[in-house]
Amino acid sequence: MSMQYAGLAGVLLLLACILLIITIRIGWRLNWLLGWLRGQLITLLLLFTLVLGLIAWDLSRYQALPLEGRLFTVEIRATNAGHDLRLQHAGKTHVHSLQGDLWRLDLQVLRWQGLAHAIGLQDGYRPYRLSGRFLLLERQRAGATQLELHNTPAWRDPWHWLDGGSGRGWLAADAFSINFMPLADGARFAIEAGPTGLTPVPLNAQAASALTGQP
């Protein structure tokens, strides 16, 4: 039985030697190998260039995060279908339709660490998600609103890559949120940055009533 496997091994070894001889006779100058390596290198460089371009595009949509000051102005209007939330940010205004009794705003935040932080690089942020929520569980199950405020898919979003890491590098992912607040018709809020995150500041009586829970 051992002779059988030794014979099979010998046949395979003979075939390997024949193939090696043929390969050497055909391509011993290795011109094909250099061409193949050059092609692979060019392909990798093109892919790396594409990745850098996509990252640069996403980073350009971040704003510098101040230590304090207004980031957003929010105005709420009731409609027949639910509520319209008017979000003013960075000189632009967007209107989003929400279903629910409460609203929430989430931001993606990039935090510089180590040497990058020491030389003065400023943290950045961008709007991430706007959500609506019903107080009644039955209505919540029937469907509330969750809107993505940018169109970057998670698989190429640098914030998601960093969020899944150890957070020990020179750049880390963080998040700020305005937790669920009443969708009060006519309410206007300023969303301000502070040392502990975001703070809603009422700009009219309807907003003040919504924050205190008073009718």
Residue 123 falls in which region: left (phi positive, over 0), alpha (psi -120 to 50) or beta: beta
Which strands form 197-202's sheet, in the order they lie side by side?
92-98, 83-89, 69-78, 188-194, 197-202
pLDDT in tens, 163-198: 877 667 788 999 999 989 999 999 999 999 987 789
H or E segment to which residue 139 belongs: helix 137-142
Question: What Å distances lie between residue 180 and 30, 52, 131, CA to CA?
Answer: 66, 36, 8
State the average pLDDT over residues 91-110: 92
pLDDT in tens, 142-152: 666 789 999 88
pLDDT in tens, 36-82: 888 899 999 999 999 888 888 888 889 999 988 999 999 999 998 88
